[in-house]
A = this chain, B = another copy of it.
Amino acid sequence: MPRPSVEAERRAQILRATCEVLAEVGLRALRVSDVAKRAGTSNGTVHYYFANKREVVHAAFDDNFTRSIERRRPIFDSGEDPKARLRAFVRSYLPDSPETVQAWRVWMELWSEALREPELQDLNERVYGEWRRIVAAVIRDGQAQGMLRAGDAVELANQLIGMIDGLAIQVLVGSRSMTVARMSEVCDAFLRDLES
């Protein structure tokens, strides 16, 4: 009888820890030993599961994305109307909970790193491709129902997603003029202009 896979458990544990440390101190200052400590294991154990620091971090980026998708699935599976789904989508990206803030910070680290890491570029591509498709579909849905104004759905999706990213950065970077509340209003204004 196979031992209840301790492997998967430990791996997940380490990845969760990596995301936490990543969000807290950034990739630049992330030490493998920080990850180990946070995961409650030894330095060597981290390397038992991952070939090197780079692998841990990349896997953590991937994990961050997966959990991020998971958290949002209910929104799109909900039977609500397109406008409501878009608003829920935007709301889910507001960096207002520790969980969301952590996810965002990890993404910001990913972006800098992705500038030189094809593997991360691929991850980014997959993620954004998915968002664009989903959001565009919702928009098209809304247009079909006459709830949203005409216009290239993909283009509008790109506007919305870009806007969310750009504004989130400002919020995360602690801008006094761009707070979570302000970000929410700005995005909602965009959504309102989409209506009718």
Taking Cβ atoms with an 8 Å cutoff, the residues of A that contact B are 25-28, 105, 108-109, 111-116, 118, 120-121, 124-125, 128-129, 132, 151-152, 155, 158-159, 161-167, 169-170, 172-178, 182, 185-186, 189-190, 193
Contact = CB atoms under 8 A, between A and B. Distances in A.
- Tallying the copies of this chain within the complex gives 4
11 contacts: A27-B28, A111-B169, A114-B173, A120-B173, A125-B177, A155-B185, A155-B189, A158-B178, A165-B165, A166-B166, A166-B169
Given A111-B111, A111-B112, 11 more contacts: A109-B112, A111-B169, A112-B112, A118-B174, A121-B173, A121-B175, A124-B170, A158-B178, A158-B182, A162-B163, A165-B165
A26 B57 CA distance: 16
Contacts of A186: 155, 158-159, 162
